[in-house]
Each structure stands twice: as C-alpha cells, then as structure tokens.
Amino acid sequence: MKTIVSGIQPTGELNIGTYLGSIRNFVALQKSHPDHHFFLFIADTHALTVPQDPVQLRKAIKSLAAMYVACGINLEQTSLFVQSEITAHQEMDVLLQSFAYMGELERMTQYKDKAQKQTEGIRASLFTYPVLMAGDILLYDAEYVPVGDDQKQHLELTRTIAERVNHQVGDFFTVPKPLIPELTARVMSLQNPDQKMSKSDPNVKSKILLTDSEAIIKKRIRSAVTDSDGIIEYNPASKKGLSNLIQIYAALEETTPEQVVETFKEANYQTFKEALGEIIATHLAPIQARYERLMNSNELTEILDRGKADAETLAIKKVQRFKKKLGLGFKR
C-alpha cells in the first residue's frame, strides 16, 4: 500500500497560511493519487514542546479535527487520528532517538529560532521534536509528506534517519519525499511580509483565520501592508506585500500570479483587495458551514475512532518489527 502522511499541531487557530501550505495540498493530492492511503493526524504530542493550557489543548484538538474534515478530506481514503492516542508514535520516537545525532538536531533552524525566543525552561522535547516527527512519518512508510516550506529541514532529517536505519538493518523504512506547494510554500504575514503568517503571531491583523467572518476577512485584506507605488506587479523580492496577496489570489483561483496581474493591471490596490477579500470569503464559506455542523455533532468521535483503529494496527506492527530488527526483547 502506498501512503501519504501529514500532521498539524493543535496550537492556536488555523489560518489561510496553514490551509494553503498544507491542508489544501493534502486534499488536492487525494484526487491526484487515488491509489494512495492517507494518514492524517493531529500532532498533539508535538504541542507539548511549549507550555499548553490543558483545557485549551483539548478544544484545539477537536477544532483541528473538525477543520480537516470541513476542508474536504476524503474520509474513504484517509485515516484521521490523534497522535497521542497511538502510543506507537511515542515508542518509535524513543527508538529513533538512537539514530539522530546531537549535531543534526542543533542545526535545525526552527529549534534555534524558538529556543532563542525563550530565555529559560527550553524543553528537551523542543530539541528532539524532529525525531518524533520522523517517527510519525516512518511508522507508515510514507512516500510523500505534504508540508509548508518551514518543515523542509525536518523532512530532510527524516530522510537522513531513514537512510541511516536502512543502512544498518537492511531496507526497512520508505525514504519519504516532501511535497511543498510551489506558490504557497510560505504565506506571509499581512502586516509584516518579511515574516510567515503564523498561528503564534499575537497580532490578529497579521492573518486570516479559517473561521473569520466575511466582514473581518475583507477588513484584514484592506489593511494588509503593501507599498506606495500603486502598480499591480508581481515581484516577491521588491513588492513583498502585494506579491503575497497575488499568490493567495492565484492559489485560491487555481491560476498563475501572471494571470492575476493581467486581470488587475488597470486596477488600483483597493479594487484588487476588494476582489481578493471576496474570493477568500467565498472560498471559506462552505468550509465554515461544514465546520460548524461538525463541531455541533457526534460525527467526529466515530471518524477519529475509525482512523485510530486503522492506523494503530499498522503502526504497532511496524514498531514490533523494528524492535526485532534492532535485537531488542527476548522472545518476540
């Protein structure tokens, strides 16, 4: 069975950066890869790398599960589950700790960035996070992993770990390939186009949440930072703010930035922004309606139980076989 794996941390509310960088790609892949099975999970253990409020975390897990389904994943083709409910993820993490080197983990830019922002109490789990992530992927022998640009380095480390294991014990793990969207690998903040749009940014004006109302969406786009030359042009180097908006437009309309520029070349920024606000709101409306319905029904329980059961069967077998390969245990 060919597989595709991806996960998102249940920290903060989802925004269109996560949507365009990850979820939407995942949904598109299901259509283009009907012969693959998809393992999609809520990476709740990863969330513990920084302090969390338990009540908020529980809520965020449910909300993320609902949003995945609302965004249109095909449940026939997907096992959707919560990472911490399958303890094989933790076991694989521990086993793979012996196949990752300190120097490799020290080079991870996400770790360096996050550690720099904290002065005390940097958790060991923040440092070893990429090993847990490698386990998530290798457990299911993923062929592809759809992620945004910020996860590219973690994917490279996953490949290194897989190759190291394969070298030592013989062909055992599939070496996964990242699938990073061309146009929306890094959706930028609406207020500071030098930074990515981030769930952790406290500035509400920097992002559009998937649950934002039409009025808020339009307001956020209107106040997005652009430039003062007034010319609709696509140039991510010199016109970062405007180009980010053009990319969002092109991704949602499934067209190219050049085509968007062609359509709006006579327009001013305000007209373009109104049109963009409109298409984002139109795109999100059916997702929001499905999300509300799921949040207010029991459907998710059944979906997550089924996803867990399917994924767990595979995951347990893989861990058992790995332990045996490594010479662990006595009888089995």
- Written as six digits, the tokens of 328 are 């662990």
Q: Which residue has the tokens 């793990």?
A: 173
16 touches which of ligand TRP, ligand AMP, none (CB within 5 to 8 A by kind)? none
DSSP-based helix, strand, coil % in the chain, nearest 5? 60, 10, 35
Rounded least distance, CB 137 to ligand TRP, Å? 5
In this structure, the strands spanning 78-82 and 2-8 are unpaired
- Return the number of the residue (46 or 196) whose C-beta is nearest ligand TRP: 46
The answer to whether 320 and 332 have CB atoms below 8 angstroms apart is yes
Is 323 in the active site?
A: no
- Out of 62, 199, 240, 323, pick the active-site residue: 199
Any contact of residue 73 with ligand AMP (CB under 6 A)?
A: no
Is 199 in the active site?
A: yes
5 touches which of ligand TRP, ligand AMP, none (CB within 5 to 8 A by kind)? ligand TRP
DSSP letter for 211, please: T
Rounded least distance, CB 96 to ligand TRP, Å? 13
Among 80, 92, 95, 148, binds ligand AMP (CB under 6 A): 148
**What are the phi and psi torsion angles at 273 (to 5°)?**
-65, -40
Enumerate residues 142-201 that contact ligand TRP by CB under 6 A: 145, 147, 151
**What are the phi and psi torsion angles at 200 (to 5°)?**
-90, 0
The answer to whether 198 and 113 have CB atoms below 8 angstroms apart is no
186 touches which of ligand TRP, ligand AMP, none (CB within 5 to 8 A by kind)? ligand AMP
Among 20, 133, 224, 287, binds ligand TRP (CB under 6 A): 133
- Return the number of the residue (37 or 196) whose C-beta is nearest ligand AMP: 196
Give residues with Cβ within 8 angstroms of 28, minimum separation 6: none
Determine the Cα–Cα distance for residues 253 and 30; give it in Å rounded to an integer: 19
- Return the number of the residue (80 or 319) whose C-beta is nearest ligand AMP: 80
Closest CA to 295 of 212, 198, 211: 211
Catalytic residues: 114, 196, 199
Binding site for ligand AMP (CB under 6 A): 8-9, 17-18, 21-22, 147-148, 150-151, 184-187, 196-197, 199
